[in-house]
């Protein structure tokens, strides 16, 4: 596995499966009375968040703490990127403090690539602009595999603002690597012009796609896209690309509904769909912690030589 | 190359054995500011006279290069470049004159500012500085700058450009094209439809889609070029298109020229060699406006330059301090330095590939840009290497190969995308009106 996790496209099938299998072991740990491993004791994980994202930050924080790492939360939100301390200087500061891993969330695509040039520790991309969000894709794959038992051959529709979605990008690369078939569904304005170069199908017709998929993943649509003329109105968007109960009825019985959150209930997803048994939305959050533990474990755990102290962790060690 | 004697106490220079435009070796005699003789090697009548000798065996002699598109940053951003440092870089690149773009602080939109820049160039002495005047006051795109006053100033401005910004308003562009006809001016357009390129970062296509960076579509350049060609035709005026970057633009310009319209165009060295996939590491050293395009665009630009559709190479030398590039891609400044690498890049992209010979390189980098910049008259730039013409020339070693070392550049800025890249060639000497500004590859103080 690479030193960093910056793009899902960098993961080999072996790397990805190793993360998912490790996450599976670690998820079992959560069922123990004391769900904590000493693996990363003495290591420092910095959460460097330039964007508000309570759910992702808390997920990474919980993951690091369950592995006994020291966690430093560095919220740079408010210190404007343009006029505050530069990312480079922040990176050098974190380096000087001895960060073993930096988890970065940033509004600029590619910020983790830049950071990786300036710190010696591992860089984990927790979402960069409209580029990628690899741990989200990993937790999505983990959730699909748990619910449906496999990834190979799964048919997955990703629906919504593909153009601006880092979740969609990471999922396209990761699911392709893991053998699933992806169909992107969106109005043409919300697809990249060169989407035909991506390893997936594209459809403008949501209802036509639904009967033949195992997974439908809804993406959040931002209201400001309307003023930028990507679509005429939120209501029209919702009618054509929203998932309501009528559309959900077109899905095969076994199919699941996913959403990375936060949801716009009543826009891309109807409330009764979000709350239906098909919905994995809450599970995704739970699974996020296990997957992020696995990522930190595999990026940092191997190099310490730290001995796992409990039986569950020994099994984890055996999967590496 | 070796130069002996210096010019002190001697009446001029004997350049021995250089190959004018890559042809047969010859001796070039310079007396005062003029070339007085060009003869077969060893047969110069002036050889016996009291001349400093410049051994130029194997070197190619070309008229001094002319850059239509340089950002010297002074006044306002002397941390990035000054007229002195920028013109030193130009001389080391083989240039004898550069056109200084108007987007300084204050903007070069009055006779006062253009005269200041012009005067700073004369004082530095490394090469001539021909200021470009802004088209609109403050580059604001709302009202015309005092174009006539700049034309009539000591700087004799003939090229006007809001470069960095597009003159997007069609009526304003039409008026500018018309107005400068009165003094044989030309409007150099930065073709970029602003609404189609809001927040744009990289060429729109496979790479922008993958990187999640806002795309800069080719159509945003091509739409403006098409409009401006039609406007230039309608009012019978001269349009120059800055930094053409797409295959579609080349086609439109080829069509406009086939109509006989007064349209000229330039391409930058970086657009002749580099492609948009270099953005994949998000290193803003590759961030430039217009953006690096695809391999198909590069091929079309090379073909356009070779067949003359694109008249010339212009550097768009755009120095920036390191902190403007050591950032996230989206907040980094656009631009690359180019003066010190331009000829080498053209050698690599156009000569090594067999698309241009050296006489054509001289045409695209000296003769034609001098004509577009209205410098071919009394200034003596872009003139033949022949007796009776001002001695503006460059001696270039085509056999040399080395990696580009940004730290060795005379520019104050280090934002070259060619750092570490192995490129052919080296500028060995530059003469400005008979006076060497560069000898043995080093700046003459």
pLDDT tens-place string over residues A212-236: 999 999 999 987 787 889 999 999 9
CB contact under 8 A, B282 and A194: no
CB contact under 8 A, B328 and A110: yes
Boundaries of every domain in chain A: 8-133+284-319, 134-281
* Residues in chain A closer than 8 A to B211 (CB atoms): 109-110, 131
Task: List the single best residue of B195, B216, B328 to mutate versus A (max A Cβ within 10 A).
Answer: B328
For residue A25, what is the DSSP state?
H
| Model pLDDT for residues A110-127, shown as the tens digit of each residue | 999 999 999 999 999 999
Strands B435-439 and B442-443: antiparallel
Average pLDDT over residues B156-167: 97
What gap in Å lies between CA A285 and CA A135, rounded to an integer? 11
Beginning with the edge strand found earlier in the chain, give each strand of the sheet holding B65-70 in spatial order.
B65-70, B95-100, B128-131
Chain B residue with CA closest to A196: the answer is: B206
CATH number of B64-372: 3.20.20.140
Chain B residue with CA closest to A173: the answer is: B210
Q: Which of B192, B241, B197, B230 is CA-nearest to residue B215?
A: B197
More confident residue, B331 or A80: B331
Which residue has 């073909």 as its token pair? Answer: B303
Quick one: pLDDT band at residue A308, thresholds 50, 70, 90?
Answer: very low
CB contact under 8 A, A195 and B209: yes
What was the pLDDT predicted at B43? Answer: 87
What was the pLDDT predicted at B244? Answer: 98
What was the pLDDT predicted at A313? Answer: 39
User: In this prediction, what percent of chain A has a pLDDT beyond 70?
Assistant: 92
Does residue B358 carry a pLDDT above 90?
A: yes
CA–CA min distance A211, chain B (Å): 28
- Which of A82, A87, A193 faces B215 most closely, judged by CB atoms? A193
Does residue B200 carry a pLDDT above 60?
A: yes
| Model pLDDT for residues B395-426, shown as the tens digit of each residue | 999 999 999 999 999 999 999 999 999 999 99
Quick one: pLDDT band at residue B9, thresholds 50, 70, 90?
Answer: low
Chain A residue with CA closest to B199: the answer is: A108
Average pLDDT over residues B327-348: 97
What gap in Å lies between CA B346 and CA B352, rounded to an integer? 9
What was the pLDDT predicted at B5? Answer: 60
Question: Which is the catalytic residue, given B228, B316, B363, B397?
Answer: B316
Q: Which CATH class is domain A134-281?
A: alpha beta
Average pLDDT over residues A89-116: 95
Quick one: pLDDT band at residue A31, thresholds 50, 70, 90?
Answer: confident
Residue B434 neighbours by CB under 8 Å, 6+ apart: B12, B13, B30, B31, B32, B33, B34, B390, B391
Question: Which is the catalytic residue, given A22, A39, A44, A56?
Answer: A56
Boundaries of every domain in chain B: 2-61+387-400+424-440, 64-372
Does residue B93 carry a pLDDT above 90?
A: yes
- Does residue A235 have an active-site annotation? no
Distance from the Cα of residue A125 to its chain's centroid: 9
What was the pLDDT predicted at A301? Answer: 80
* Residues in chain A closer than 8 A to B212 (CB atoms): 109-110, 128-132, 164, 166, 169
Question: What part of A 130-169 touches B (C-beta under 8 Å)?
Answer: 130-132, 164, 166, 169
Are A8-133+284-319 and A134-281 equal in CATH topology? yes
CATH number of B2-61+387-400+424-440: 2.30.40.10
What was the pLDDT predicted at B3? Answer: 72
CATH number of A8-133+284-319: 3.40.50.1370
Residue A296 neighbours by CB under 8 Å, 6+ apart: A40, A45, A63, A64, A67, A69, A101, A124
CB contact under 8 A, B328 and A166: no
**Helical packing angle, A281-296 and A54-66, nearest 10°:** 50
What was the pLDDT predicted at B140? Answer: 97
What gap in Å lies between CA B211 and CA B13, rounded to an integer? 55
Does residue B105 carry a pLDDT above 90?
A: yes
- Does residue A105 have an active-site annotation? yes
Does residue A129 carry a pLDDT above 90?
A: yes
What was the pLDDT predicted at A315? Answer: 40
Q: Exposed (0-12), middle (13-18) or buried (19+): which is A3, by Cβ within 10 Å?
A: middle
What was the pLDDT predicted at A78? Answer: 54
In the structure encoding, which two tokens stand for residue B73, read together? 């940053």
Average pLDDT over residues B268-276: 98
Does residue A312 carry a pLDDT above 70?
A: no
DSSP string, B171-225: HHHHHHHHHGGGGT-EEEE----TGGGTT--EETTHHHHHHT--EE-HHHHHHHH
């Amino acid at each position: 596995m690479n030193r960093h996790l910056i793009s899902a496209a960098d993961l080999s099938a072996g790397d990805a499966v190793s993360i998912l299998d490790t996450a599976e072991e670690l998820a079992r740990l959560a069922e123990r009375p004391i769900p904590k491993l000493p693996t990363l004791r003495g290591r420092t994980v910095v959460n460097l968040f330039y964007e508000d994202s309570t759910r992702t930050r808390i997920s990474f924080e919980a993951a690091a703490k369950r592995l006994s790492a020291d966690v430093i939360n560095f919220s740079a939100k408010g210190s404007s990127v343009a006029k505050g301390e530069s990312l480079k200087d922040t990176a050098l500061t974190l380096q000087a403090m001895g960060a073993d891993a930096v988890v970065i969330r940033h509004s600029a695509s590619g910020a983790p690539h830049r950071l990786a040039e300036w710190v010696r520790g591992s860089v984990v991309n927790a979402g960069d602009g409209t580029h990628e969000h690899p741990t989200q894709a990993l937790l999505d794959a983990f959730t699909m595999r748990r619910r449906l038992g496999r990834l190979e051959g799964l048919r997955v529709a990703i629906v919504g603002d593909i153009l601006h979605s880092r979740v969609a990008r990471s999922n396209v690369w990761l699911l392709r690597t893991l053998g699933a078939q992806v169909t992107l569904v969106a109005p043409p304005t919300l697809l990249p012009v060169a989407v035909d170069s991506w390893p997936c199908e594209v459809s403008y017709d949501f209802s036509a796609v639904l009967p033949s998929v195992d997974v439908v993943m809804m993406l959040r649509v931002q209201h400001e896209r309307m003023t930028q003329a990507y679509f005429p109105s939120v209501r029209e968007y919702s009618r054509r690309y929203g998932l309501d109960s009528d559309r959900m009825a077109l899905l095969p019985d076994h199919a699941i509904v996913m959403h990375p959150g936060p949801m716009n209930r009543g826009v891309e997803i109807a409330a009764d769909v979000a709350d239906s048994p098909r919905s994995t939305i809450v599970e995704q959050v739970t699974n996020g912690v296990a997957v992020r533990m696995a990522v930190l474990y595999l990026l940092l755990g191997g190099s310490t030589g730290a001995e796992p102290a409990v039986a569950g962790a020994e099994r984890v060690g055996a999967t590496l | 190359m070796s130069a002996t004697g210096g010019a002190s106490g001697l009446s001029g220079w004997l350049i021995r054995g250089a190959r004018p435009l890559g042809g047969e070796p010859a001796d070039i005699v310079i007396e005062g500011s003029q070339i007085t003789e060009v003869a077969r090697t060893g047969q110069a009548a002036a050889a016996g006279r009291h001349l400093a000798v410049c051994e130029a065996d194997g070197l190619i002699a070309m008229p001094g290069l002319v850059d239509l598109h340089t950002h010297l940053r002074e006044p306002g951003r002397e941390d990035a470049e000054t007229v002195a440092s920028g013109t030193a870089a130009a001389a080391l690149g083989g240039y004898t004159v550069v056109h200084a773009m108007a987007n300084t602080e204050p903007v070069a939109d009055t006779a006062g500012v253009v005269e200041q820049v012009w005067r700073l160039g004369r004082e530095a002495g490394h090469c001539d500085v021909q200021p470009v005047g802004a088209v609109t006051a403050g580059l604001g795109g709302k009202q015309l700058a005092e174009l006539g006053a700049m034309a009539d100033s000591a700087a004799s401005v003939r090229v006007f450009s809001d470069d960095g910004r597009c003159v997007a308003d069609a009526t304003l562009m039409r008026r500018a094209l018309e107005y400068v006809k009165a003094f044989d001016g030309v409007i150099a357009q930065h073709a970029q439809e602003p609404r189609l390129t809001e927040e744009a970062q990289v060429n729109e296509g496979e790479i922008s889609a993958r990187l999640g960076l806002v795309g800069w579509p080719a159509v945003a350049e091509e739409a403006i070029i098409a409009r401006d060609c039609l406007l230039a035709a309608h009012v019978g005026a001269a349009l120059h298109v800055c930094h053409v970057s797409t295959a579609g633009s080349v086609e439109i310009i080829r069509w406009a020229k086939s109509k006989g319209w007064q349209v000229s165009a330039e391409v930058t060295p970086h657009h002749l060699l580099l492609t948009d996939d270099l953005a994949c590491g998000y290193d803003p050293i590759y961030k430039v406006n217009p953006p690096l395009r695809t391999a198909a665009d590069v091929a079309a630009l090379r073909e356009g330059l070779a067949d003359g559709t694109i008249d010339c190479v212009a550097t768009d030398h755009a120095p920036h301090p390191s902190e403007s590039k050591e950032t996230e891609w989206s907040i980094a400044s656009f631009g690359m330095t180019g003066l010190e690498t331009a000829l080498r890049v053209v050698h690599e992209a156009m000569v090594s590939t067999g698309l241009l010979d050296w006489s054509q390189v001289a045409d695209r980098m000296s003769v034609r840009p001098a004509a577009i910049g209205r410098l071919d008259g009394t200034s003596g730039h872009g003139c033949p290497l022949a007796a009776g013409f001002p001695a503006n020339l460059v001696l270039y070693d085509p056999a040399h190969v080395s990696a580009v070392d940004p730290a060795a550049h005379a520019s104050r800025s280090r934002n070259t995308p060619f750092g570490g890249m192995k490129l052919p060639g080296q500028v060995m000497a530059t003469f400005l009106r008979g006076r060497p500004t560069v000898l043995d590859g080093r700046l003459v103080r």
